[in-house]
Structure 1
Amino acid sequence: MASISARRLAKELREIQLEGCPVGIALVTADDFATWRFSIEVMGESLYEGEQYLLQFRFDSQYPISSPAVQFVVGPERESPIHPHVYSNGHICASILGTEWSPVLSVVAVCVTLQSMLASCKKKERPVDNDRYVRTAPENPKKTRFHYDDDNV
């Protein structure tokens, strides 16, 4: 019998394949029910106009009860967006990925929320504690207890 997680991800993948993704969001890989990747681009006028990023979702067997581990992919030729809620290692401080997670949220809904977060940004800057956090951060961003206090970025 398939797990709740596998059934839910199969349903979400079917919907993406049938309906597509919103403008500026594209499924890059979904080879299994462990890791998916999406490209994300802010459409219209914004500080991130013309920039494209890669988002990685990692799912555990408790999804959708448990949130996915979501982060921007960084590497030799790829950076995370410079944003007050995005660390240079790609970790994202967003309440919907932590305390405000709800099983009704879908992978696409998370992508749209992060796209909107970038679109509404008024100043490109890293979080105040970026250097310290990146030095000490666990590999999995879900193991970080972020403090959510600024929804106006």
Structure 2
Amino acid sequence: MASISSRRLRKELTEITTQGCPVGIKLLNADNFETWLFSIEVLGETLYQGEVFKLMFRFDSQYPISSPAVQFVVDNEFQAPIHPHVYSNGHICASILGNEWSPVLSVSAVCVTLQSMLASCKVKERPQGNDQYVRYAPDNPKKTRFHYDGKHHRV
């Protein structure tokens, strides 16, 4: 019997492949129900105009009850956006990936939310304590306990 996680991911993948991704978002790889890769571009006149980023979603067997681990990919081709809520290792401090996660959210909805977060950015800067966080951060951003306080966050 298929798990709730695999049924849900199959449904989301079918929707993405038949209806397409939101504007500025492209599915790069979804060969399995463990890891999916997307490119994300912020359209319009923003601080990130012309920049393309790569997002990695990792799913556990509890998805969608449990949020996916989502981070920007940092490799030879891509860098994490310079943003007050994005660490240089690609980890993202966003409440929808933590305490405000809801099973009604989809992969596409997360992509659009992150796209919107970038579009509304007013200053390109790293989060306070970036270097220390990156030095000691776990591989999986879900293992970090971010604390959200309106516009500010801390680890």
TM-score scaled to structure 1, two decimals?
Answer: 0.97
1:116 aligns to what? Answer: 116
Q: Which runs of 5+ in 2 are unaligned?
A: none
> CA offsets per residue over residues 39-60 of structure 1, 9 Å max, x none?
0000000000000000000000
Letter in 1 for 2:47: L
- Give yes or no for the alignment of 1:140 onto 2:140: yes
Q: Counterpart of 2:56? A: 56
Confirm whether residue 93 of structure 1 aligns to residue 93 of structure 2.
Answer: yes
Find the aligned partners of 1:129 and 1:150 in 2 and give their Cα distance: 18
Report the counterpart of residue 37 of structure 2 in structure 1: 37
The secondary structure found in structure 1 opposite 2:96 is helix
Identity between Structure 1 and Structure 2 (%)? 77
1:80 equivalent in alignment to 2:80: yes
State the AA in 2 paired with 1:75.
D
Residue aligning to 2:24: 24
Report the number of matched residues. Answer: 152
TM-score, normalising length: structure 2: 0.96
Q: Give the aligned CA root-mean-square deviation in angstroms.
A: 0.9
Distance (Å, rounded) in 1 between the aligned partners of 2:101 and 2:49: 28
Moved more, 61-70 or 143-152: 143-152
Give the SS at the match of 2:149: coil
- SS of residue paired to 1:112: helix
How far residue 75 of structure 1 moved from its aligned partner, in angstroms, is 1.5
Q: Give the unaligned 5+ runs of structure 1.
A: none
